[in-house]
Chains A and B, each alone.
Chain A
């Protein structure tokens, strides 16, 4: 199975600050069709996960441009600029290039 390693495990950020989360894959996530199926999710406390970024760098509908995704191959990054209270929760990366689809271990974003 593809292992997605997320770092850091937890992140203390001040309001208005910037957060960066890494997701490293044990294999290249480039699909045979040329697409890279690496997505990012946020699970806020008491809520279901929500899609933030799909296919590395595409913001899902309604997601503010404070969220950005980048990367290629095996190394991916989610950046959150101007952190707001509503950004707190656990962030996950997910790959569906290889079967089985796998999640990263999660990164908890908390306020400093």
Chain B
């Protein structure tokens, strides 16, 4: 069974970087697409970007040059780095596999940006 699990700090200071790891079991990240999605307080959801089976990436332009998604295929993990965070980056962050849709999701990690 495909399983994803996010990990990382729950609290980040403004202007610092947010770094999250998504550990995948039951499926190789060298197949399909692997994305990061966040849900803000309230209901708004935002697609942040993905890394493909080949390692290519695509990002939401709204995140401009702040975002980077990388991977370690030997550990079957992929990573999110979001730089220069502000309080507006406070959200629950999810990693997910994209196949026919986002068909497998992690449980999510709540990240608060606060001093």
Contacts and interface: CB of A to CB of B under 8 A. Distances in A.
Interface of A: 1, 39, 41, 43, 48-51, 54-55, 58, 60, 90, 92, 94, 96, 99-103, 105-106, 108
A48 B43 contact: no
SS class, residues of chain A in contact with chain B:
strand
Which range holds the interface residue count of chain B? 20 to 34
Interface in B81-115: 94, 98, 100-103, 105-108
Interface of B: 37, 39, 43-47, 58, 60-62, 94, 98, 100-103, 105-108
A106 B45 contact: yes
A28 B47 CA distance: 19
Contact of A54 (B62, B94, B101, B107): B101
Interface centre among A48, A55, A58, A102 (most CB of B within 10 A): A48
A44 to B, nearest CB: 12
Contact of A108 (B43, B46, B107): B43
